[in-house]
Amino acid sequence: MSARKGFTLIELLVAMTLFSVVMTAVYGAFSTGAQVWRLGERDTQVFQDARVALTLMSKELRCSFAEAGHLFLGEDDRSGDRENDRLEFYTVRPPLEPGEDREARILKVSYYVDEAPGGRGYVLKREEEVVTGSIPTEKETAARGKRERPIEMDKPWRCILAANVDSLDFHYSWGEQWVPVCKKGFGMPGDIRIVLKLRGEGKRSEIRRFDTAVHMPLKPGKGPPKEGLR
């Protein structure tokens, strides 16, 4: 009986078929794993942006400058179904601008939604201005009416805190009821609710909602007139 020296054609075809089946399964598992990893990485960036933005806003609001409470401004701006509110107030914090000293200064800080560079979506921006002059008192501001005395400040410095912003919404409370605006003269609210919605990358990405409430440590102002609540 002669010894076999190789494989038959049928054996080779069977082996190649089994190898193809195994490699197809391995590739499918690898592709699915890579896709899940990419989605997880995108979600991680979204959660990180939201955490940084909400933490910074909360800290700066809690350090609001009491003597400028009458200049606290919260604008309600809706573009279609998207809330693009703007918040403007004075706080006592170290500037974030690179090159500035780390000592606490009086800053005028603004948070708002703006078009992203290149026109692709929207971003959350923070703007700071270091106050170098005196801030008008509430009586002086009321006496001047719409003719506000300009406050001396350094040039504004802006940075992007979060990308792929879907909406930014602020609500304010001086007691039991929440209102979507805080006009100058209302005074410092007692509580502020912040809702930030971010969209992940990709056409089918989900919109993630992040919200927090900030209790202001300072005595709240008079708030809006009752007929102005809505």
Q: Which stretches does DSSP call E strand in 22-156?
A: 73-75, 78-79, 82-83, 86-93, 105-115, 122-130
Please state which of the ranges 94-108, 123-137, 166-180, 196-210 shows the lowest mean pLDDT.
196-210
In this prediction, what percent of the chain has a pLDDT beyond 90? 53
Number of C-beta neighbours around residue 119 at 10 A: 7
> Is the pLDDT at 146 greater than 80, yes or no?
no
pLDDT at 180 exceeding the cut of 90 = yes
Q: Quick one: which H or E segment has residue 15?
A: helix 9-62
- Find out whether 69 and 187 touch, Cβ atoms under 8 Å: yes
CB-based contacts of 99, cutoff 8 Å, min separation 6: none
d(CA 93, CA 70): 19
Q: What is the mean pLDDT of residues 222-227?
A: 81
Q: Binning pLDDT at 50, 70 and 90, where does residue 212 land?
A: very high
Lowest-confidence pick of 17-21, 57-61, 149-153, 175-179: 17-21
Which band of pLDDT confidence, cut at 50, 70 and 90, is reported for residue 24? confident
Judged by DSSP in three states, 2 sits in coil
Helix H or strand E encompassing 26: helix 9-62
What DSSP letter does each residue of 42-77 carry, written as one string? HHHHHHHHHHHHHHHHHHHHHTB-GGGGGG-EEE--
- Distance in angstroms (rounded) separating the CA atoms of residues 49 and 131: 28
Rounded Cα distance, 85 and 180, in Å: 9
Q: Which of the pair, 83 or 40, is modelled with greater confidence?
A: 83
Three-state SS sequence of 176-217: CCEECCECCCCCCCCEEEEEEEEECCCCCCCEEEEEEEEECC
Average pLDDT over residues 160-169: 94
